[in-house]
Chain A
Amino acid sequence: MTTNDPKDIEKILVSLSPKSVPPGLKGRVLESALKKRQGLLMTPRTWAAAAACAALMAIAVLGDTAVTKVQNNDLRAFLNGTSVSRLTGEEPGPLSEEVCEEIGDVEKAGLERIILTRPGTRSASLRDIFEARKRLKGWLDHEDESTESPD
C-alpha cells in the first residue's frame, strides 16, 4: 500500500467504521428532552403570550401618553388664552363678550374682575384687557369713567 499520498491516509481513515449507536438511544434522548421542555416555566407558547401582552401594554402606555399630552395642551390652552387660537384655529373674542348675553350684571362685574386678575391674561396682553373693559363700559355699575386706554 502506498502511504506517501495523504489521500491514501484519508481513504484508510474513511474506511474505519464507527461503532453502532446503542438501541433505543433516540427514544431516551427525546423523552428526556420533552420532559425537560414540559417542566420549563416559559414554553414557546408562553413566550408568545408574554410577547403579545408586552405589545399590548406598550400600545396602552403610548396611547395614554398621547391622550395625556393632548389633554395637557387643552388645559394649557384653557388656562392661557393666548394659545387657544393656535389649538382651535379661530380667533377668540373677549371672554366677557362671549358670556355677557347669558349672565346678569352682578356676574359681569365678577367676570371682569376675574379677567383682570388672571395672571396669564394680564401677562399675555394688557391691550386685550383694556379692550374688554371698553366693550363692557356702561354694563358695569362700578365702572370708573376716568379709566383710559393706554393708547
Chain B
Amino acid sequence: MNLEELYGRYGENLFRYLVFKLGSAEDAEDVLQEIFCRFARFTMRWALIRNPQAFVFRVARNEVNRFLRRKLSRPEGDAGPLDRTSSFSASLAIPADATALLIAELADRLPEEQKEVIFMKVFDGLTFKEIGTACGVSANTAASRYRYALARLRAALEETR
C-alpha cells in the first residue's frame, strides 16, 4: 500500500480523530504529518498487518500521546496540553438542530475513554474489535464503554428536560 492510497483510505478520518483528540486543527495537521512520515518507513511491512485500520488508529493514538508529552517537556510550554481533553465540538460542525447541539455538548462531558469509543464508532466507523486494538483494550471493554456512554447521554438528556 503506497502513501497516497493510505491517505485516500484513512487520511481524513485520521485528521478528524486527531482534531477530536487535540482540539486544534493546526496540531492535528502536524501530528498527521508525523504519522505519515512514520508510515513512510513501513512501506514494505503493510502486507504483514492484519487489520490496517486498527493499526493506523493505534499509531495515531500513540503519536498524539508523543506529541502531548513533547509539548509538555518544552521549557516554554505550559502545563496544559496533557490536561487537554478531547472534544466533539472541536471536530464537529455546529449542528442546526437544538437536540443535536445539546447531545454534542453532553458528549463532551463524558469520561475520556467513553468519548473516544463513541467518536471512533460513530464518526470513523470502526468495529469494537478495531477500537479495542487501537485503544489497547478488549472488544468487550470497548463495547461496554460505548453502552455506558450512550446510557449516560440518555440520562443526561433526560435530566436537562
| B4, B12, B33, B154 interface centre (most CB from chain A within 10 Å) | B33
How many Å lie between the Cα of A14 and that of B100 in the bound state?
10
Contact yes or no, B3 A18, CB < 8 A: no
Closest to B102 in A: A12
Instruction: Determine whether the beta carbon of A9 is less than 8 Å from that of B95.
Output: no
* Minimal beta-carbon separation of B145 from chain A (angstroms): 13
Number of interface residues of A (CB under 8 A): 30
Asked whether A29 lies within 8 Å of B33 as measured between CB atoms, the reply is yes
B118: shortest Cβ distance to chain A, in Å?
Answer: 7
Does B135 lie at the interface of the complex (its beta carbon under 8 Å from any beta carbon of A)?
A: no
CB-CB under 8 A from B95, the residues of chain A are 15-17
Q: Judge if A25 is at the interface, Cβ distance under 8 Å.
A: yes
Q: Cβ of A21 and Cβ of B15 under 8 Å apart?
A: yes
Instruction: Count residues of B near A (Cβ-Cβ below 8 Å).
Output: 40
Residues of B with C-beta under 8 A to A1: 99
Q: Does B61 contact A (CB under 8 A)?
A: no
Write out, one digit per residue, whether chain B residues 147-161 have a CB within 8 A of any chain A CB (1) or not (0).
100110110011000
Known: A28-B29, A37-B40. A19 touches B91 (CB 8 A): yes
Report the bound CA distance from A15 to B11 in whole Å: 21
Q: Which residues of the other chain, A, contact B97 by a CB distance below 8 angstroms?
A: 12, 15
Q: Are A40 and B92 in contact (CB under 8 A)?
A: no
Give the docked Cα–Cα distance between A99 and B46 (Å): 70
Give complex CA distance A2, B93 in Å.
24
Q: Roughly how many angstroms separate A39 CA and B154 CA in the complex, as a whole number?
A: 52
> Contacts A18-B92, A22-B25: A6 and B41 contacting too (C-beta < 8 A)?
no
Name the distance in Å between B154's Cβ and chain A's nearest Cβ: 6
Neighbour of A13 across the interface among B4, B36, B122, B158, CB < 8 A: B122
Residues of B within 8 A of A (CB): 3-4, 7, 11-12, 15-16, 19, 25, 29, 32-33, 36-37, 39-41, 43-44, 88, 91-93, 95, 97, 99-100, 103-104, 107, 118, 122-123, 147, 150-151, 153-154, 157-158
- Contact bitstring A22-64, B, C-beta under 8 A = 1, else 0: 1001101110111011001000100100000000000000000
Contact across chains for B19 and A19 when beta carbons are under 8 A apart = yes
Known pairs A9-B103, A12-B100; A32 contacts B4 (CB<8 A): no
A16 and B103 contacting across the interface, CB-CB below 8 Å: yes
Contact across chains for A30 and B92 when beta carbons are under 8 A apart: no
A33 is contacted by which of B15, B39, B104, B157 (Cβ under 8 Å)? B39
Which chain A residues lie closer than 8 Å to B107 at the CB level?
13
Best-buried of A15, A16, A22, A44 by chain B (most CB within 10 Å): A16
CB pairs A–B below 8 angstroms (10 shown): A3-B154, A10-B150, A12-B97, A25-B11, A26-B7, A28-B33, A29-B29, A29-B32, A30-B4, A37-B40
